[in-house]
Homo-oligomer: A and B are copies of this chain.
Amino acid sequence: MVVVGGGFAGLTAVQALRSADVEITLVDRHNYHLFQPLSYQVATGSLSPGEIAVPLRRILRRRHDVRVLLADVTGFDLQRREVTVDPPIADAARRHIPYDMLLVAGGSSYAYFGHDEWRSVALEVKSLDSALQTRGRILRAFEGAELEDSRDAQASWLTFVVVGGGPTGVEMAGQIAELARDTLPAEFRDSDPRSGRVLLVEMADRVLTTFPQSLSRRAARALERIGVTPLLDHTVVGIDRESVTIQARDGTQTRVATRTVIWAAGVTASPLARMLGDASGAEVDRSGRLTVEPDLTLPGHPEVLAVGDMVRVRDGRTGQPEVLPGVAPVAMQQGRFAARLIGDRLRGRSTAQFHYHDKGNLATIGRARAVADIRGLRLSGFPAWLTWLVVHLFYLIGFENRLLVIVRWAYSFFTRGRGARLITDVTGEPPLQSQPAAGGEQPAPERSVG
């Protein structure tokens, strides 16, 4: 069989198929599995990429029933039962991989609500590459402030706007605030990182809308205490290289001078979802999610399963498609279910429908601060953070990584330092210019520093 995607859903399925006597080809465009819930810590220099990403081949090295293929999937032929792949390596030919069973777990990316032009300006933390780019931009913003003479010019570098008050937005805002208030102040001479502002823009009337009201309130208060300004009932209506325009519910607009916008709002499914929809006639919703049967199969194609946050699952009783939260536990449960269904089929047994078991909801706000909602048990502050810590270390793949992350976190916890604050590949980043210079390059303005 072919598995597309080595994220939580795809990798869990492959691991659960350990004893299923199936030859598996796992296709991913990256050579690693990313522990995505911690990618925001790479973006703020708390963790190194190697601590939250493990090569897929390494994880699966003892699985002689698994081939790993580094490639982009560019098409499905459901009639001939073939997946078309393009390896990101030159001279490597396009291939058509036949399958008897196909599992697609392509994930999702952020949606810009019809403003795709913002994508090139805003930063993200969903992928490892985007998190590294974000790390460079956040750190360079502090460097930019250090080079300015006026407080106003410094303020635009030291203003960070995070869009989206879900767990990722809350975590990013909290980390940037701690970076500005705890980690960096002693290191700058001509600017004061502490004067920085972190705005967290959320359309709804509270942050963490998937949590109970009381925890949203506590999270908002905790954010304020560490220096984040939550702007609830606000939407972003404009982004350019030098500012963000924010609109309140009453229609008043405010332009905020900033060079650093982190986008963590809205979700659009992987294009693979639409490819499968087009090929099979299955329904695809406005966010690009494919509707799958209650047993996660593609309608009319029991040999194709689709899982993770690129799908909606049709409810067995009501027939209505349901959107599940885009979190790792959903992906892992669906991956495990898919593996069981395949194993059952090989043994001629039928499998029941997929049901999500919600084990709870966790979000960190900063050092030793978090909120947790575990089957009605509501925790906040240090107990919630300890829970978060244990859960994340438990699920972090790879013994060595876990050990390194413990060392790193222990160090950060006691010293408030961050060990991975490197601006790498400066040249790979387009210069932060306000507008493209018309008619060739403009000479840099000269200025004397006394």
Contact = CB atoms under 8 A, between A and B. Distances in A.
Interface of A: 29-32, 48-51, 53-55, 57-58, 60-62, 64, 67-71, 86-98, 128-129, 132, 139-140, 143-144, 146-148, 184, 186-190, 398, 400-401, 403-404, 407-408, 411, 417, 419-428, 431-434, 444-450
A91 to B, nearest CB: 6
B147 A49 contact: no
Contacts of A70: 140, 143, 146-147, 423
Contact of A91 (B187, B403, B428, B433): B433
19 contacts: A31-B139, A32-B423, A48-B48, A48-B49, A49-B424, A50-B419, A57-B188, A58-B187, A70-B147, A89-B143, A89-B144, A89-B432, A90-B433, A91-B434, A92-B144, A93-B446, A94-B444, A95-B449, A400-B419
Contacts of A448: 95-96
B129 A425 contact: yes
B31 A421 contact: yes
A51 B48 contact: yes
Contacts of A445: 93-94
A360 to B, nearest CB: 30
A448 B51 CA distance: 37
A358 to B, nearest CB: 32
B408 A400 contact: yes
A448 to B, nearest CB: 5
Contacts of A96: 446-449
Contacts of A30: 423, 426
B189 A67 contact: yes
A421 B132 contact: no
Nearest to A140: B89
B90 A432 contact: yes
Nearest to A94: B444
Chain B CB within 10 A, most for which of A146, A423, A433: A423
A87 B89 CA distance: 34
A423 B29 CA distance: 10
